[in-house]
Amino acid sequence: MSASLPPQLILKPCGHCGATGKVEVINHAFLRFVRLQSQVSLRRMARRLGVSAAYVCDVELGRRNCPIAWLEKYRALWGGS
């Protein structure tokens, strides 16, 4: 049984416009899912990104914002475009 890929971007209410609109944000669960499915350790991913493992963990758990440049590296890890 193959795992399905969660969406890379999700829509969330915009805090700047009083939640009247929606903004696209990176789905943090996507990042963790891809890394785990690719069997890449947290420390190895951190080395690829040039940051600490704690920072990657915080991003994957949604405690920090994800740099857009990371999305391409995670896509490459998954083998997608």
The rounded radius of gyration (Å) of the Cα atoms in the chain is 14
Query: Which band of pLDDT confidence, cut at 50, 70 and 90, is reported for residue 1?
Result: very low
* Domain ranges, ordered by start, for the chain: 27-78
Q: Report pTM.
A: 0.68
**pLDDT tens column, 14-65:** 566 655 566 566 778 888 988 998 999 999 999 999 999 999 999 999 898 8
* CATH superfamily to which 27-78 belongs: lambda repressor-like DNA-binding domains (1.10.260.40)
In a 13 Å sphere around the CA of 31, the CA atoms on its Cβ side amount to 28
